[in-house]
Every structure is written in structure tokens, then in C-alpha cells.
């Protein structure tokens, strides 16, 4: 299926110069190459990209797709996806009437092969899944409705294999919605989604058979998601409701003992309830990613109804902002964003969801799973004017899929849940609740 494009967006990009010389006067620099600098530990270094990227010509090209099978359950109900650092495997979680996790061989990104399906004893969905920094292990959250917090799956580390995995460790004293292993250390951060608990917990998982809780961090409330930048030793935690709404940045130079650096309070800003679609507003902070080459943080908001949430770009040292005092400099919503009222039937339809940052030559892009939009690519090379560039509807083969009653209530595909970029092999994976797993490449 050819990608569906917003031709008006393309014309806007072309008018802005057609290539990466977009916003060339930005920050007093003569070219965008001068802008794309990363500062790590106070030292300026080049981003390493010598090749100019014509953003106006970029498109999402589908490489592969897998209609997953979660045991004997009907198709559909797929949630988060994670891809291993070496790009060999992806693991997909479940929700909405489907349980367990699915491991997929993506070593050939054009020919995806399901390796295993692993249910669980609680017959519960495992919404979030993440690979450990050690090959052969992945973590999966147990949704809060059931007793449990998370499990550690061995699929080749010691006790298990890719085709015969086994749960080797579990914790059942909390209510996690998302989990985040540290990218290089045997440490796991788990999000507490309850309003009466602290934002997140820290576990030592050096021994995957015996996770050990080290502490609780953050204000009480619904901590939603965490991301870690191991190069800068930074952690960003997003809070959707409770004592605090917004995000907090932590120093994790000691991964087992996060220390708060700064925060951005959404309640002191214009709310979506006071805004029209497309106007910058703040609420229901979902998750954030640090730009790997610049002192910027991209933070997405997720709204179930009314004005849909968008994506913010925060200056955390790029120009006038800092880690202690983040400054919002850019905002965008999905290409077809509109109010989510009764006539559009379902919740979350046009709000932003999980995304990842994709450095591409001298350009910087965001690949995002935006629910009924499918997968959308945004250009944030100029962080003050993030702009949709291309879109792919993840509804391939939907007529051949038999979905359960819970999934069918979501409306029709696409229903893209998450994207993740794999730097090792330069491709994007995406999960869709209806249609399973996709791989993409960005081509010009």
C-alpha cells in the first residue's frame, strides 16, 4: 500500500526551502548545520552527519508486516513494541481482550517471523514490553487491573530459548503501567499509575530471578512513562494526573538513585480545555524523548476526548532553556487532528501517542504512532516549527483479520500504538492494535 500523503504539508515544507536549510537564521546561525550540534557534558561536538537530507522528499516505505497470533485468541489487541538494540528481535505486548507477549524475528525487516507467544498465569494483558540491556531477557508490565507489577522473561539468557521462553522473575506488590530498563545497567524503572503511589519505583535486576526494590521516587500521582538518555545520564518522567502534571528531569549518573534536576508544571500553562485544535496547550503528559544530538526534549500529550493532545519541543539548553528550567519552543498536532466528539465515536482517535526521534543526516525527525492517523513522520530540524512530513495508514490486510469484541469497539484501523527507531539497522518498527507489527524505512 502506498503511503498516504498530506500534499498541503509537502508544499509548506517546500516553501520553507525544500531541504535542511529550513530556518537558516535560527539561533543566529548561517546554516542549519551550525544548529545541529550536540552538547554532552558541556562539550560541543559535531553531529557527525555530513550529508544534507531533503526532508521534502522523505517518505515512509513499508518493509514488512506480521499479523501476529496470540495463542488461540482472536487477532487484534496488540499494544507496545520494543526492538532489541542489534535489530534482530522485536517484542509486542497486548491489551483489549488479548494477553501475553509475542517475540518476532525482524533480522530480515522485509520478512517478519513470529518466534514465540507467551501467555501468563493471570490471563492478563502485558501492555508494556521492553528488552533488557542483556540479550536474552525482556520485561513486561502486568496491567493494574490484575494483581502484579511486572515479569522478567528469559528467552535465551540462561533458562529459556527464543522458541521456549520462561518467566524467571516477577514482582506483585505494585500497579505498573509502563516499565523502562536502563539502557546499559541492570536497573529497571517501573511506573506507578495509581494516584496514591509515588511516580515510579527503581529495581535492581542484576539477578533476573530475584528483582530487588531500591526505592520510590517522584510526587504521588499517575506517572505514565520514563525515558533514559545514557549519554547525558538523564531520565525524563511524565505525569498525567495527581499531585503533579507535567514532567520531571532526573540525574541518573547513579542509575539506582535518581536525583531531580528540574521540572515543568503543566498546571501553570494554558490547558487543552481552553484551547482550539492546533493551539499550543498542556495536559495529560504522556512521555518524552531527549534529542540525541541537541539539548532538546520532545514531550507528547495524550488526551482521550475533546481537543487532542499534541507534541511539544522543549529547550533544555539549546538556546534559552536549561535542564532546571525547560522552555517550550515548538508544538504540533497530527495532520488530521480534530475535536474528539461523539460524532467521531471513539476515545483517543486523533491524540498523539508513542513516538521516537530519528536523526537523518542533518535533519531530525520524529516517527510517531498517532492512533487513527497511523504512523506519522514530523520534521523537527527547526524545533520552533515541527511539521508533519509523511503518513502511513497501518490498516493493511484489515479485512482478513478477525478481532475480538473489545478491539472492535475501538472503531476501524489504523490504530497505531507505538513506533521505535533502531539506530543499528536504521529502520522503524511500529505496532497497530488491529494489524500487528510493521517495519519501515525512510527513503527519498
> Closest by alpha carbon to 302, among 325, 330, 334?
334
Q: Which residues contact 121 (CB under 8 A, 6 or more apart)?
A: none
pLDDT at 245: 94
66/110 Cα distance (integer angstroms) = 10
Q: Return mean pLDDT, the chain.
A: 85
Rounded to an integer, the average pLDDT of 103-114 is: 98
Residue 35 has pLDDT above 50, yes or no: no
How many Cβ atoms sit within 10 Å of the Cβ of residue 15?
Answer: 9
Calculate mean pLDDT across residues 123-131. 91
pLDDT of residue 345: 53
Instruction: Report residue 1 as a C-alpha cell.
Output: 500500500
Mean pLDDT across the stretch 5-18?
Answer: 33
pLDDT at 49: 43
Average pLDDT over residues 291-319: 96
Q: What is the pLDDT of residue 3?
A: 40
Distance of CA 339 to the CA centre of its chain: 23
Mean pLDDT of 341-357: 77
Residues 243-271 have a mean pLDDT of 97
What is the longest distance spanned by two Cα atoms in the chain? 60
Residue 284: the pLDDT is 93
Nearest to 127, CA basis, from 190, 73, 204, 72? 190
189-234: pLDDT as tens digits: 998 876 677 789 999 999 999 999 999 999 887 788 999 999 999 9
pLDDT tens digits, one per residue of 167-179: 999 998 766 789 9
pLDDT for 20: 31
Instruction: State yes or no: pLDDT of 310 exceeds 90.
Output: yes
Per-residue model confidence (pLDDT) at position 52: 72
- The pLDDT of residue 32 is above 50: no
**For residues 27 and 329, what is the distance between their CA atoms, to the nearest angstrom?**
12
Q: Which residue has the higher pLDDT, 91 or 350?
A: 91
- Quick check: 390 and 58 in contact, CB under 8 A? yes
Which pLDDT band holds residue 24 (cuts at 50, 70, 90)? very low
Region 255-268 average pLDDT: 97
pLDDT at 4 over 90: no
Residue 288 is predicted with a pLDDT of 96
Q: Which of 42-51, 123-132, 356-365 has the lowest mean pLDDT?
A: 42-51
- Output the pLDDT for position 179: 94
b/e per residue 271-281 (b: at least 16 CB within 10 A): ebeebebeeeb
Lowest mean pLDDT among 144-148, 253-257, 383-387: 144-148
Q: Determine which of 152-161, 186-195, 265-274 has the lowest per-residue pLDDT on average.
A: 186-195
pLDDT surpassing 60 at residue 41: no
* Residue 221 main-chain phi, psi, to 5 deg: 145, 180
Supply the pLDDT for residue 16.
32
Q: How much helix, strand and coil, in percent to the nearest 5, is found in the chain?
A: 10, 45, 50
The proportion of the chain whose per-residue pLDDT surpasses 70, expressed as a percent, equals: 84
Mean pLDDT of 45-53: 49
Q: Is 1 exposed, middle or buried (0-12, 13-18, 19+ CB in 10 A)?
A: exposed
The helix (H) or strand (E) run that includes residue 249 is strand 246-251
Q: Residue 222 in 3-state DSSP?
A: strand
Closest by CA to 358, choosing from 375, 380, 373, 330, is 380
Catalogue the long-range contacts made by 9-17 (C-beta closer than 8 Å, 24 or more residues apart).
Answer: 9/335, 9/387, 9/388, 9/389, 10/56, 10/389, 12/387, 13/55, 13/56, 13/379, 13/387, 13/389, 14/56, 16/382, 16/385, 16/387
Range with lowest mean pLDDT among 172-176, 233-237, 249-253: 172-176
**Does position 47 have pLDDT exceeding 50, yes or no?**
no
pLDDT for the residue numbered 348: 73
Name all domains of the chain by residue range, CATH numbers in brackets.
55-443 (2.130.10.10)
Asked whether residue 21 carries a pLDDT value surpassing 60, the answer given is: no
Task: Specify the pLDDT at position 153.
Answer: 98
| The predicted structure's pLDDT at residue 344 | 47
How far apart are alpha carbons 236 and 227 in whole angstroms? 5
Among 117-126, 336-345, 400-409, whose mean pLDDT is lowest?
A: 336-345
Residue 34: per-residue pLDDT: 35
Backbone angles phi, psi at 429, to 5 degrees: -105, 150
Q: Output the pLDDT for position 438.
A: 98
Amino acid at each position: 500500500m502506498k503511503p498516504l500523503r498530506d500534499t498541503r504539508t509537502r508544499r509548506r515544507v517546500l516553501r520553507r526551502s525544500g531541504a535542511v536549510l529550513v530556518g537558516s537564521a535560527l539561533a543566529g546561525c548561517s546554516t542549519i548545520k551550525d544548529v545541529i550540534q550536540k552538547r554532552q557534558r558541556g562539550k560541543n561536538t559535531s553531529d557527525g552527519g555530513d550529508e544534507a537530507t531533503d526532508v521534502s522528499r522523505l517518505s515512509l516505505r513499508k518493509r514488512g508486516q506480521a499479523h501476529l497470533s496470540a495463542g488461540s485468541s482472536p487477532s487484534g489487541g496488540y499494544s507496545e513494541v520494543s526492538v532489541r538494540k542489534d535489530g534482530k528481535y522485536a517484542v509486542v505486548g497486548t491489551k483489549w481482550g488479548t494477553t501475553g507477549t509475542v517475540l518476532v524475528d525482524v533480522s530480515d525487516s522485509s520478512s517478519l517471523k513470529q518466534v514465540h507467544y507467551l501467555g501468563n498465569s493471570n490471563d492478563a494483558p502485558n501492555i508494556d514490553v521492553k528488552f533488557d540491556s542483556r540479550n536474552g531477557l525482556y520485561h513486561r508490565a502486568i496491567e493494574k487491573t490484575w494483581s502484579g507489577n511486572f515479569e522478567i522473561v528469559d528467552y535465551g539468557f540462561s533458562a529459556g530459548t527464543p522458541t521456549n521462553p520462561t518467566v524467571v522473575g516477577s514482582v506483585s506488590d505494585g500497579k505498573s503501567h509502563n516499565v523502562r530498563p536502563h539502557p546499559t545497567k541492570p536497573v529497571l524503572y517501573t511506573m506507578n499509575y495509581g494516584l496514591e503511589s509515588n511516580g515510579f519505583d527503581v529495581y535492581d535486576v542484576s539477578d533476573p530471578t530475584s528483582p530487588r526494590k531500591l526505592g520510590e521516587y517522584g510526587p504521588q500521582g499517575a506517572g505514565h512513562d520514563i525515558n533514559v538518555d545514557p549519554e547525558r545520564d538523564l531520565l525524563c518522567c511524565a505525569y498525567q494526573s495527581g499531585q503533579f502534571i507535567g514532567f520531571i528531569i532526573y540525574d541518573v549518573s547513579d542509575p539506582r538513585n535518581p536525583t531531580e534536576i528540574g521540572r515543568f508544571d503543566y498546571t501553570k500553562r494554558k490547558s487543552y480545555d481552553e484551547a482550539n485544535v492546533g493551539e499550543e496547550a498542556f495536559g495529560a503528559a504522556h512521555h518524552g524523548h531527549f534529542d540525541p544530538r541537541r539539548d532538546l526534549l520532545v514531550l507528547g500529550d495524550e488526551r482521550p476526548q475533546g481537543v487532542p493532545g499534541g507534541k511539544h519541543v522543549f529547550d533544555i539548553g539549546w538556546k534559552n532553556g536549561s535542564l532546571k528550567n525547560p522552555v517550550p519552543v515548538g508544538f504540533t498536532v497530527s495532520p488530521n487532528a480534530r475535536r474528539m466528539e461523539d460524532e467521531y465515536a471513539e476515545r483517543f482517535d486523533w491524540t498523539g501517542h508513542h513516538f521516537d526521534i530519528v536523526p537523518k543526516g542533518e535533519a531530525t525527525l520524529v516517527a510517531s504512532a498517532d492512533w487513527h492517523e497511523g504512523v506519522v513522520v514530523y520534521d523537527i530540524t527547526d524545533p520552533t516549527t515541527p511539521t508533519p512530513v509523511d503518513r502511513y495508514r497501518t490498516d493493511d490486510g484489515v479485512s482478513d483479520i478477525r478481532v475480538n469484541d473489545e478491539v472492535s469497539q475501538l472503531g476501524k484501523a489504523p490504530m497505531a500504538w507505538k513506533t521505535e527507531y533502531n539506530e543499528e539497522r536504521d529502520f522503524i518498527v511500529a505496532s497497530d492494535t488491529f494489524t500487528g507489527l510493521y517495519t519501515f524505512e525512510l527513503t527519498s
